[in-house]
Amino acid sequence: MNITLPVTLVLALMVIMSVMVLVFDYFTYLNQNIEMIYVMRPYLYHLGDRGELTPQQLQIIEERLENIGLEAVEIDILGSGGFGGKMTVEVTGRGESSRLAGFLRRENKALDYHYRREVIITRISN
């Protein structure tokens, strides 16, 4: 009896499943980055209009980023807040990704998330 074909099929299936797991992990990481962008978007518009973010807004941003699974969130706003000035917003956080580590075994891997955006102050309104 020839066992070459079944062994080849099993190996091919294992390779396909491994690639699918890696792709799924990548899309999970990408999804968290996209959620991070959508959390930040309205506050960046506000920063462009006002030239600053209030402590309450920074607190809301941190809470929303923690809700999507990020820990140790740090928000740095660098630059001048005058009209036409350029401000840089940097957000860093750490999250965990559960991934397949072997046969029926999963491990949690810590991932660092970085978001950097430059905002030009278009107007200063109260």
Query: What are 47-82's pLDDT values in tens digits?
Result: 777 777 788 888 888 888 888 777 777 888 777 666
Is residue 46 in some structural domain? yes
Q: What is the pTM of this model?
A: 0.59
pLDDT in the model for residue 124? 64
Is residue 126 in some structural domain? no
The tokens for 67 are 């809700």
Is residue 59 in some structural domain? yes
Is residue 49 in some structural domain? yes
Number of domains in the chain: 1
Q: Give whole-number Cα distances, 88 to 3, 33, 45, in Å.
A: 62, 18, 13
Is residue 56 in some structural domain? yes
Q: What one-character DSSP code corresponds to residue 82?
A: S
Q: Give whole-number Cα distances, 67 to 20, 44, 61, in Å.
A: 27, 19, 10
pLDDT in the model for residue 42? 81
Q: Distance between CA 45 and CA 72 in Å, rounded? A: 24
Is residue 24 in some structural domain? yes
pLDDT in the model for residue 16? 92
Is residue 86 in some structural domain? yes
In angstroms, how far is CA 93 from the centroid of its own chain?
8
What counts of helices (H) and strands (E) characterise the chain?
2, 3
DSSP alpha helix (H) spans, 1-126: 4-50, 55-67
Is residue 94 in some structural domain? yes
The DSSP bridge partners found for residue 102 are: 105
pLDDT in the model for residue 13? 92
Give the pairing type, strands 86-102 and 71-79. Answer: antiparallel
pLDDT in the model for residue 12? 92
* Domain enclosing residue 59, as ranges: 4-120
Q: In this predicted model, which residue has the larger pLDDT, 96 or 62?
A: 62
